[in-house]
């Protein structure tokens, strides 16, 4: 069966039409980013790719191609035995490599000769990546944003998740970034995605959202840990209607101590993270907070962080950047349990129906 190609732009709207999306690049390339839902069936593994590339440079292309072809053939046989022995003839995959060249074409040619209907991604991952970057602003523009604002510790993420559980659309940037978007936001045992991977995750989430209903999002800054939110999305949420979540500071501290229990349980980790604030708050303040941690006064440090660092920075940033913040209606959250967050979510929904 003859091969056919799919352009990167067409692939943006056709991913669900394929039975499998196969990434023929090496595992290292795959780990940096890949198409949503892709499986990694490498034509060359990382070591083989380096070996063949070195031969290209140090010997010549002809010798490198011979060695590479043998490796690709061996790996292709393995993938057929492992993945395709029981696949029906109707199996319809999309396969790609870096630029739609030898690695994906080699596997696709074999599968096509077997009788499968194989599609090649024209231009490979590189073209798809360019198409995603170009499409993100268009996806952002078609959606109706409503911003859940509020200082650190008021439960914005919990309210966002409550909105999702109640059947409403959300965009959870912190979830996509594996980070809680603060100096203490790194999640233990979890690695953040690369910038490219974050943008692919973001695009994949955006394309699945409807434009006929609001999309709730937190009042995030430009950076969520080590990744940067695309400018088009930042500008959109800063210009959108918003609601301001309020919670008394003792409750906020209690919520933070619960959500960030790993810092309460590992005061050395907490102290190391505080070091990143030295340039903003000075050695004297940070050293005093470390002393409090050493004597078990974790709650006191959390209260001080809110009062001296998080709140001043947050409110100054909101006033400067968010167009409708001054007119935002307020929702008071009276507790930190799930029921309190669900009640706050209901109030947010009512305000979103009549935004300022």
Taking the domains of the chain in order of start, what are their residue ranges? 4-131, 144-352
**38, 76, 97, 171: the active-site residue:** 97
pTM above 0.95, yes or no: no
- The CATH code that applies to domain 4-131 is 3.40.250.10
> Which residue stretches of 37-155 are H helix?
46-58, 61-79, 102-114, 124-142
Q: Is 4-131's fold the same as 144-352's?
A: no
Query: What are the Cα distances from residue 201, in Å, to 229, 290, 337?
Result: 12, 37, 30
pLDDT at 193: 96
Res. 3: pLDDT tops 80: yes
Show the CA angle centred on residue 143, arms to residues 140 and 148, nearest 5°.
Answer: 95
pLDDT tens-digit map of 305-336: 999 998 998 889 999 999 999 999 999 999 99
Answer whether residue 1 shows pLDDT above 70: no
Instruction: Give CATH for domain 144-352.
Output: 3.40.50
Clarify whether 242 is annotated catalytic.
no
């Amino acid at each position: 069966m003859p091969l056919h190609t799919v352009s990167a732009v067409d692939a943006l709207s056709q991913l669900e039409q394929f039975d499998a999306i196969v990434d023929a690049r090496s595992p290292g390339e795959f780990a940096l980013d890949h198409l949503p839902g892709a499986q990694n069936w490498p034509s060359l593994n990382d070591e083989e790719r380096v070996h063949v590339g070195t031969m290209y440079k140090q010997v010549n292309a002809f010798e490198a191609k011979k060695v590479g072809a043998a490796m690709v053939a061996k790996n292709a046989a393995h993938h057929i035995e492992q993945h395709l022995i029981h696949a029906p003839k109707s199996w319809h995959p999309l396969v790609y490599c870096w630029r739609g060249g030898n690695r994906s074409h080699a596997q696709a040619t074999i599968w096509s000769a077997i009788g499968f209907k194989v599609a090649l991604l024209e231009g490979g991952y590189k073209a798809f990546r360019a198409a995603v970057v170009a499409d993100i602003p268009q996806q952002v523009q078609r959606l109706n944003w409503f911003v859940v604002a509020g200082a650190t510790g008021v439960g914005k993420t919990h309210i966002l998740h409550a909105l999702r559980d109640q059947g409403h659309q959300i965009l959870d940037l912190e979830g996509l970034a594996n980070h809680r978007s603060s100096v203490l936001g790194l999640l233990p045992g979890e690695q953040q995605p690369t910038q490219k991977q974050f943008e692919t995750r973001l695009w994949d989430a955006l394309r699945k959202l409807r434009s006929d209903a609001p999309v709730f999002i937190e009042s995030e800054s430009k950076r969520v840990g080590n990744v940067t939110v695309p400018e088009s999305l930042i500008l959109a949420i800063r210009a959108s209607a918003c609601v301001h979540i309020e919670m008394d500071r003792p409750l906020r501290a209690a919520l933070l101590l619960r959500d960030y229990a790993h810092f309460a349980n590992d005061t050395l980790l907490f102290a190391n993270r505080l070091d990143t604030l030295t340039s903003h708050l000075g050695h004297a303040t940070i050293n005093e907070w470390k002393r409090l941690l050493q004597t078990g006064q974790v709650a006191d440090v959390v209260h001080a962080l809110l009062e001296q660092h998080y709140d001043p920075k947050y409110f100054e940033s909101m006033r400067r950047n968010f167009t409708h913040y001054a007119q935002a209606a307020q929702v008071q959250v009276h507790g930190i349990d799930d029921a309190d967050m669900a009640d706050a979510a209901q109030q947010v929904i009512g305000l979103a129906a009549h935004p300022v």
